[in-house]
């Protein structure tokens, strides 16, 4: 990174990091910068523990959370999701006909589909399976989709995130870049980018709440949020974040959020999946 | 009557290569805010109100409950700012001085009404 650029943006760590990530860098360099930033910022957190969000930083919060995990609030969602997975469609087929390797498949998503020229996420693939079997698609943010997603996440626990950006299709890199741009763009009346809270100010407190580090954000979805009182998907959380900064949200599973998920999950490469999760 | 005239921030653009990180160039005219009618007591209520200023969410304020720790403590303001107007510019839009500032632009984005803005400035200036 050139020195004058660094000087220009040396207004705090986040600024420096952003500039490091937006000069001509490869996704792999971005990932190293991103993960290195958080490891430097939180030197006492073992890398794998970033999958636990704010609880990796806050011993008191962690104790409460671990107590909650004794009787996980997402358990019913996993059970319902399993039933949904196993119940045949009206045509007699099941999800297993679309996904022959079984439900332990979350680490295959999101991926770049070269033929269709778009990022395919797990909820999108599940709904496309339904539609291919003449079933109505589910709502993308909660309910049966979140439950099915919870079952797949549970069966996929322990898999290592390994999102790929195929070098032989420049549109894949473009989708990644769009996701990255979304992440660092200020929006809404409050004028926050995702990075303002979850990179530059991660670990500090908003009132009494600790802002979770961006590294690890995608590992544990869907999540049961106490605030929701139910399980919800990653794109539901995106909607909520956008609304919290008083910005217009985007459609769940629309191009914006799929590309954002592509970027964010790529940043988490190397972490293990640990969904579904329980959060405040 | 005192007016605020922060310099335009549209010219502050970071050269960030491929990604234009949005220090959005708002082409708004420099604001003209009358600070003379500010009421510190009303300003305090706004500063503590989650749906309004919510300064306490990020700043320690003497006497405020459950402060956040994202921004600096709001103490000794009159030793930290040369004038009430300089403080007001900071609250109007913190990115004027620091392009990467996380603080919402309470004036520029009309998060507060003009009266609320003057009240908050009066209150913070009194700390």
The two beta strands, A277-279 and A118-120, are unpaired
Which pLDDT score, from 0 to 100, does residue B33 have? 74
Rounded to an integer, what distance in angstroms lies between the CA atom of residue A101 and that of residue A135? 21
| Chain B, nearest residue to A246 by Cα | B111
Q: Do B70 and A8 touch (CB under 8 A)?
A: no
User: Would you place residue A11 in the very low, low, confident or very high pLDDT band (cuts 50, 70, 90)?
Assistant: very low
Which pLDDT score, from 0 to 100, does residue B12 have? 31
Which pLDDT score, from 0 to 100, does residue A107 have? 98
Quick one: DSSP state of residue A185? -
A205 touches chain B (CB under 8 A): yes
Residues of chain A contacting residue B15, judged by C-beta atoms under 8 Å apart: 5, 8
Beta-carbon contacts of residue B106 (< 8 Å; ≥ 6 apart): B53, B91, B92, B93, B112, B117, B120
ipTM for the predicted complex comes to 0.84
| Chain A, nearest residue to B52 by Cα | A190
Rounded to an integer, what distance in angstroms lies between the CA atom of residue A24 and that of residue A250? 28
Of A9, A19, A200, nearest to B102 by CB-CB distance is: A200
Cα separations (Å) of A196 from A13, A140, A185?
11, 27, 10
Rounded to an integer, what distance in angstroms lies between the CA atom of residue A188 and that of residue A200? 18
What average pLDDT score do residues A251-271 get? 98
Phi, psi of A20 (to 5 degrees): -65, -30
Q: What is the DSSP string of B40-79?
A: HHHHHHHHH-TTTT-GGGTS--TT-SS--SSS-----HHH
All structural domains of chain B with their residue ranges = 1-127
Q: Do B24 and A186 touch (CB under 8 A)?
A: yes
CB contacts < 8 A (A, B) = 84
Quick one: DSSP state of residue A232? E
Smallest CA-to-CA distance from A254 within A140, A146, A163, A144 is with A140
Rounded to an integer, what distance in angstroms lies between the CA atom of residue A171 and that of residue B97? 38
Q: Is the pLDDT of residue A84 over 70?
A: yes
Which pLDDT score, from 0 to 100, does residue A47 have? 97
What average pLDDT score do residues A157-179 get? 97
Smallest CA-to-CA distance from A107 within A159, A49, A35 is with A159
Of A95 and B10, the structure prediction assigns the larger pLDDT to: A95
Looking up tokens 């549970």 gives: A154
What average pLDDT score do residues A212-234 get? 98
- To the query of whether residue A241 is one of the catalytic residues in this protein, the response is yes
Residues of chain B contacting residue A12, judged by C-beta atoms under 8 Å apart: 100
Residues of chain A contacting residue B99, judged by C-beta atoms under 8 Å apart: 11
Q: B77-111: b or e for each residue (b if 16 or more CB lie within 10 Å)?
A: beeebeebbebbbbbbbbbbeebbbbbbbbbbbeb
Rounded to an integer, what distance in angstroms lies between the CA atom of residue A56 and that of residue A171? 35
Of B21, B69, B110, nearest to A184 by CB-CB distance is: B21
Hey, what CATH topology would domain B1-127 get?
Cytochrome Bc1 Complex; Chain D, domain 2 (1.10.760)
Q: Which regions of chain B are under pLDDT 70?
A: 1-32
Phi, psi of A192 (to 5 degrees): -100, 145
Beta-carbon contacts of residue A79 (< 8 Å; ≥ 6 apart): none
Of A18, A190, A211, nearest to B21 by CB-CB distance is: A18
Q: Do B22 and A204 touch (CB under 8 A)?
A: no
Which pLDDT score, from 0 to 100, does residue A161 have? 98
User: Would you place residue A23 in the very low, low, confident or very high pLDDT band (cuts 50, 70, 90)?
Assistant: low
Class of domain A1-280: mainly alpha
Structure-token pair, residue A167: 């070098």
Widest pairwise Cα distance in chain B? 47
All structural domains of chain A with their residue ranges = 1-280
Which pLDDT score, from 0 to 100, does residue B24 have? 42
The two beta strands, A223-225 and A277-279, are parallel
Phi, psi of B88 (to 5 degrees): -65, -35
Which pLDDT score, from 0 to 100, does residue A268 have? 98
CA distance B110 to chain A (A): 8
Smallest CA-to-CA distance from A149 within A120, A181, A170, A126 is with A126
Q: Do B69 and A204 touch (CB under 8 A)?
A: yes
Residues of chain A contacting residue B100, judged by C-beta atoms under 8 Å apart: 9, 11-12, 14-15, 18, 200
Which pLDDT score, from 0 to 100, does residue B31 have? 61
User: Would you place residue A24 in the very low, low, confident or very high pLDDT band (cuts 50, 70, 90)?
Assistant: confident
What average pLDDT score do residues A193-215 get? 96
Rounded to an integer, what distance in angstroms lies between the CA atom of residue A148 and that of residue A211? 28
User: Would you place residue A15 in the very low, low, confident or very high pLDDT band (cuts 50, 70, 90)?
Assistant: low
pLDDT in tens, A115-152: 999 999 999 999 999 999 999 999 999 999 999 999 99
SS3 A51: helix
CB A135: neighbour CB atoms within 10 A? Answer: 14
Rounded to an integer, what distance in angstroms lies between the CA atom of residue A161 and that of residue A33? 17
Q: Do B14 and A8 touch (CB under 8 A)?
A: yes
């Amino acid at each position: 990174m050139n020195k004058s650029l660094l000087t220009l943006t040396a207004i705090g760590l986040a600024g420096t990091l952003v500039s490091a990530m937006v000069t001509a860098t490869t996704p792999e360099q971005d990932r190293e910068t991103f993960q290195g930033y958080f490891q430097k910022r939180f030197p006492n957190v073992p890398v794998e523990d970033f999958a636990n969000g704010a609880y990796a930083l806050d011993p008191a919060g962690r104790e409460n959370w671990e107590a909650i995990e004794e009787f996980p609030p997402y358990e019913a969602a996993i059970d319902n999701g399993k039933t949904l997975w196993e119940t045949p469609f009206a045509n007699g087929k099941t999800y297993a006909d679309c996904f022959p390797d079984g439900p332990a498949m979350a680490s295959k998503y999101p991926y770049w589909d070269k033929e269709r020229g778009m990022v395919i996420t797990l909820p999108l693939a599940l709904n496309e399976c339904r539609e291919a079997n003449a079933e109505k698609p589910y709502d993308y943010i909660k309910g049966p989709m979140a439950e099915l997603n919870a079952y797949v996440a549970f069966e996929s626990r322990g898999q290592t995130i390994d999102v790929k950006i195929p070098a032989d299709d420049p549109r894949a890199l473009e989708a990644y870049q769009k996701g990255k741009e979304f992440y660092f763009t200020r929006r809404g009346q409050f004028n926050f980018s995702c990075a303002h809270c979850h990179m530059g100010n991660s670990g500090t407190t908003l009132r009494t709440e600790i802002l979770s580090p961006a590294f690890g954000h995608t590992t544990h979805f869907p999540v049961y949020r106490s605030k929701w009182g139910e399980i919800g998907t990653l794109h539901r959380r995106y909607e909520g974040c956008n609304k919290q900064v008083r910005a217009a949200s985007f459609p769940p599973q629309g191009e914006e959020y799929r590309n954002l998920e592509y970027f964010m999950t790529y940043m988490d490469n190397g972490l293990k999946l640990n969904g579904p999760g329980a959060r405040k | 009557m005192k007016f605020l005239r922060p310099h335009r921030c549209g010219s502050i653009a970071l050269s960030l290569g491929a990604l234009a990180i949005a220090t959005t160039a708002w082409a708004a005219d420099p604001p003209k805010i009358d600070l003379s009618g500010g009421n510190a007591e009303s300003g305090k209520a706004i500063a503590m109100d989650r749906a309004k200023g919510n300064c306490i969410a990020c700043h320690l304020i003497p006497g405020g409950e459950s402060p956040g720790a994202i921004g600096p403590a709001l103490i000794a303001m009159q030793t930290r700012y040369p004038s009430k107007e300089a403080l007001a510019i900071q609250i109007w839009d913190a990115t004027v001085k620091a392009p990467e500032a996380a603080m919402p632009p309470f004036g520029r984005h009309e998060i507060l009404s003009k009266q609320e803005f003057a009240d908050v400035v009066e209150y913070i200036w009194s700390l």
